Chain A
Amino acid sequence: MKLYQLTVQKIGEMLARREIKAQEVLESVSERISQVEHRIQAFTTLTLESARDAAMDFDNRGKITGLAGIPCGIKDNLCTRGVKTTCASKMLEEFIPPYDATAVNKLKTAGAVMVGKMNMDEFAMGRSTGSSNFYPTRNPWDLTRVSGGSSGGAAAAVAAGEVFYALGSDTGGSIRLPASYCGVVGMKPTYGRVSRYGLVTFASSMDQVGPVTRNVTDCALVMNAICGYDCLDSNSLQAEVPDYLGYLQTDIKGMKIGFPREYFINELDEDVKNAIKKALLKYEELGAVVEETSLPHSKYAQPVFQIIASAETSSSMARFDGVRYGYRDEDAQEIAEMMSNSRARGFGPEVKRRILLGTHVLSKGSYEAYYLKAMKVRRLIKDDFDRAFEKYDLLVSPTTVSVAFKPGAMTEAVCDILTTPANLAGIPAISIPGGMVDDLPVGLQLMGRPLAEGTLLKAAYAFEQATDYHLRTPVLEV
């Protein structure tokens, strides 16, 4: 085994015992990047030089924290002080923030070594990383398939051994979808669990920062570092942060698991469905009580999400006008023209489409019919979850309808049907490797009560320990 193939937990233990140096770990990763990155295209910016300084610092006098000295990637919509934060958009191609996102700052405090910024769909709007203004990120399991989106760079890099873990963001499934397609673990915490400060906004009421890791233990380690109240995010939750490692037990006897029938939809690939059914049987084997249940309003989640997310985006994206930072059209003769041209040329088609849609649904005459109605249905979707969680400790479903698809496939339009409900309801959800179909990973989604990330990690850990999907890695000819 090469160092880059190990987990955060394992590397952390070896660093703590001083068996290896952080600089060696970084060199292993760096070599791996040089071998595979041109095929994966997971990064927008590499910061190996400053990573070497950080690794050396750790070797000289670093504190042992669990994450200290370990290379990671940061999705390129999380602001990094002094390092380009592009959101994979022409609009922010040269944007260097003078501040760190709170989650990034917490990782830095924990001694993390950032090796680069991860590719994504432009402004996190997409499901394949195909809307990146730079290049798409390819799936390490099959380079002809998408990595998923929008945190595709993060998931692909973790799967391909280019980083040990990464931070992503999830507004409608953007961590869980690529995690599912790339066969890694991706957690979307409860809304407000991780500070959104410094995360470039897609949809304020749903955006959440979360980890992408190779296994559940690593997920818990990263969660320990990034969660917690932040006075810079008004919607940040004041709740205490537990030690998530404490939840990692294999005994889940008596745990009540519901599988919502509405999540086994027509569009669901038959093989994926079977894989998930197998996973449910595994839970029964482990002593959990598994029952079918119903979340009747979840079927409206995707259109409701589209309306609300677009509405919020149309307003939040208005700040990109070329006046203070970002791309500016230099040919314009007067200010309205400059602002208009900068936006017309700085944004890609997917971003523009959502801004237009959002502008429409907030306009006079549409507000009640679309935005207000969507907000009401959102409430019903959340009420369904509240009722279900009176009975069940967690809910299980496929993360998405298929394995990783090829660019342009129709699947892209429906692949977030099963992930958006958790964002609308603000509840935590995790995607873990739950099976294999045609040598491609299948994601198993677990959803829990608000702040019940611990319960999700416990159930995820028990499943992981009883299976070996998480141990499989893509074969990349070097």
Chain B
Amino acid sequence: MTVEYEAVIGLEVHAELKTNTKAFCSCGLSFGAQPNSHVCPGCLGMPGTIPVLNRGLVEYAIKTGLALNCQIAEYCRFDRKNYFYPDLPNNFQISQLDLPIATKGSLEIEIGGVKKTIGINRVHMEEDAGKLVHQGNIMTTPYSLVDLNRAGTPLLEIVSEPDMRSPQEARMYMEKLRSILLFLGVSDCKMEEGSLRCDANISIRPKGQEKLGTRAEIKNLNSFRALERAAEYEIKRQIEVLEEGGQLIQETRTWDEDRQVTLSMRSKEEAQDYRYFPDPDLPPVIIDTAWIERVRETLPELPDQARDRLVQVFNLPSYDAAQLTMSKDILDFFDACVTEYNEPKSVANWVMGELTRLLNQSNMEIKDSKITPSSLAQMLKLLEQGTISGKIAKVVFEEMFTTGDSPDKIVKDRGLVQISDESAIQAIVSEVIDENPKVVEDFKNGKGKAIGFLVGQVMKVSKGKANPEVVNRLLKEELSRR
């Protein structure tokens, strides 16, 4: 008899916060800036410097804690995590060990119409390290260069309960968490740039068993896809080990994107002793109810609320609502567009369809796009009025995306106005039928499909501008006359 296994997945997510300044000094944050241009004696770990807590970091942490339904601690504290690494200026990281700022929260995911609550164990504040830059391969490089721009960037570590049971659930959790952070405006959440990072704790156990199996921690998951694929691989690997009569060991593994496998980094026995202790340079953080309430008042609409609104107010299918609430920028775009053109489903289709396609194609964010909610609304009006056809609309839209010109201008400049004049279309129809006697014969012999070819020809001759409805009608009339 074969055992049926169940996966148990918990995620540790690190989100870089976009506060004005670093966590413990007054340096600004930077991505891609000149190396070591955003540093000061403090974040360089110079002798005699003392960390000073950024109030903005605490505010962002409270905000995030509240959005994740957490309890906010009245009293929390910073601890030092001690380890030597050249990108860590003090050779300790300021973090929170046993008194984190927020605990006991949850978020909801939805798979196939079924909702599931995933517990959040804790949210804590910490600082990021810098980066090492190598010439070529890390093993063969003659030297390492240290860039400390990122050192001291504030991070939230968000630790879930081991409540996920499949790679898909893990992905959904991660996507939901990302959208919540984006709605809060606390992080850019760019996984490819590392401003949102994820480690997955994965174990398996026979279905029905309460006791957790031996877990592996998977690192280096730089995309939703990597998370899902790594989890799939790891579950399969663990099942294979057990089925071959082997034993799993508690270890840290890394995801090899090229080979699509997880590889062992170190076992539990090799794990470091970080010698955590309370940071004597930083007094405890006391958060009173009034502060929490002030932050609560600033909470924006969150993805779940927005999704419900789109379903209830605009009557959108829940799939559309979920897509449009993946990020705050997309939702804002949708909302702005609907104010100018009150056909929500149509707007949703264009945002989720053409716009998303073009953005993905050019690897852009919606907020960087030359298409504005207003220009999309104008184009949709032209479409509704029959000034342009649906087919032409796609052409106009691409042009808007590339040049940023208004749809009116594009339609005018390129003479894309739809031809609805029946006499003009009739002339083309007659011409096309005359030129294609074979096709006409096929049609007469019952090949209904033949009409599609004729429509295509008419559109071609009219350079796509003929009103397709009129073309269809006139073609049918003309064919019946012949």
- B297 interface residue (CB < 8 Å to A): no
Q: For residue B49, which residues in chain A have a CB less than 8 angstroms away from its CB?
A: 197-198
CA distance A336 to B144 in the complex (A): 12
Contact present for A201 and B47 (CB under 8 Å): yes
Contact present for B45 and A319 (CB under 8 Å): yes
Minimal Cβ-Cβ distance residue in B for A339: B84
Q: How far is the CB of A100 from chain B (nearest CB, A)?
A: 10
Segment touching A, from B89-97, B102-110, B407-415, B459-467: B89-97
Segment touching A, from B112-120, B224-232, B239-247, B273-281: B273-281
Segment touching A, from B50-58, B184-192, B392-400: B50-58
Minimal Cβ-Cβ distance residue in A for B52: A234
Near B by CB (< 8 A), chain A positions 68-90 give 77-79, 85, 87
Contact present for B84 and A315 (CB under 8 Å): no
Q: For residue B146, which residues in chain A have a CB less than 8 angstroms away from its CB?
A: 323-324
Q: For residue B41, which residues in chain A have a CB less than 8 angstroms away from its CB?
A: 97-99
- B330 interface residue (CB < 8 Å to A): no
- A410 interface residue (CB < 8 Å to B): no
Contact present for A200 and B48 (CB under 8 Å): yes
- A199 interface residue (CB < 8 Å to B): yes
Contact present for B46 and A97 (CB under 8 Å): yes
Contact present for B47 and A234 (CB under 8 Å): no
Query: Interface residues of A, CB < 8 Å — how many?
Result: 46
CA distance A468 to B282 in the complex (A): 44
Q: For residue A92, which residues in chain B have a CB less than 8 angstroms away from its CB?
A: 47
Q: For residue B156, which residues in chain A have a CB less than 8 angstroms away from its CB?
A: none
CA distance A171 to B84 in the complex (A): 26
Q: How far is the CB of B87 from chain A (nearest CB, A)?
A: 9
CA distance A371 to B92 in the complex (A): 18
Q: How far is the CB of B417 from chain A (nearest CB, A)?
A: 66
CA distance A231 to B55 in the complex (A): 13
Minimal Cβ-Cβ distance residue in B for A364: B273
Minimal Cβ-Cβ distance residue in B for A123: B47
- B86 interface residue (CB < 8 Å to A): yes
CA distance A323 to B148 in the complex (A): 12
Q: How far is the CB of B42 from chain A (nearest CB, A)?
A: 9
CA distance A316 to B90 in the complex (A): 7
Q: For residue A78, which residues in chain B have a CB less than 8 angstroms away from its CB?
A: 48
Q: For residue B277, which residues in chain A have a CB less than 8 angstroms away from its CB?
A: 311, 315, 362, 367, 371
Q: How far is the CB of B43 from chain A (nearest CB, A)?
A: 11
Q: For residue B281, which residues in chain A have a CB less than 8 angstroms away from its CB?
A: 201, 204, 234-235
Minimal Cβ-Cβ distance residue in B for A235: B283
CA distance A336 to B275 in the complex (A): 19
Contact present for B48 and A101 (CB under 8 Å): yes
Q: For residue B50, which residues in chain A have a CB less than 8 angstroms away from its CB?
A: 196-197, 204, 232-235
Contact present for B280 and A204 (CB under 8 Å): yes
Near B by CB (< 8 A), chain A positions 225-256 give 231-235
Contact present for A318 and B48 (CB under 8 Å): no
CA distance A276 to B46 in the complex (A): 43
CA distance A362 to B283 in the complex (A): 20
Near B by CB (< 8 A), chain A positions 279-336 give 311-312, 314-316, 318-321, 323-325, 335-336
Contact present for A234 and B53 (CB under 8 Å): yes
With contact pairs A204-B281, A324-B44 given, residues A234 and B51 touching in the complex (Cβ less than 8 Å): yes
CA distance A359 to B92 in the complex (A): 13
- B80 interface residue (CB < 8 Å to A): yes
CA distance A344 to B480 in the complex (A): 99
Q: How far is the CB of B351 from chain A (nearest CB, A)?
A: 47
Contact present for B47 and A362 (CB under 8 Å): no
CA distance A198 to B280 in the complex (A): 16
Near B by CB (< 8 A), chain A positions 375-390 give none
CA distance A319 to B144 in the complex (A): 18
Contact present for B82 and A315 (CB under 8 Å): yes
Residues of A with Cβ closer than 8 Å to B?
77-79, 85, 87, 92, 95, 97-99, 101, 196-201, 203-205, 231-235, 311-312, 314-316, 318-321, 323-325, 335-336, 339, 359, 362-364, 367, 371
- Please list 18 pairs of residues, one from A and one from B, whose beta carbons are closer than 8 Å in the complex, sorted by A's number: A85-B47, A97-B41, A98-B41, A196-B50, A201-B281, A204-B50, A232-B50, A234-B283, A314-B82, A315-B80, A315-B275, A315-B277, A319-B47, A319-B91, A324-B46, A362-B275, A363-B273, A364-B275
Known interface pairs A199-B48, A362-B276; 6 further A-B residue pairs with C-beta atoms within 8 A, sorted by A's residue number: A101-B48, A234-B283, A235-B281, A320-B47, A321-B86, A362-B275
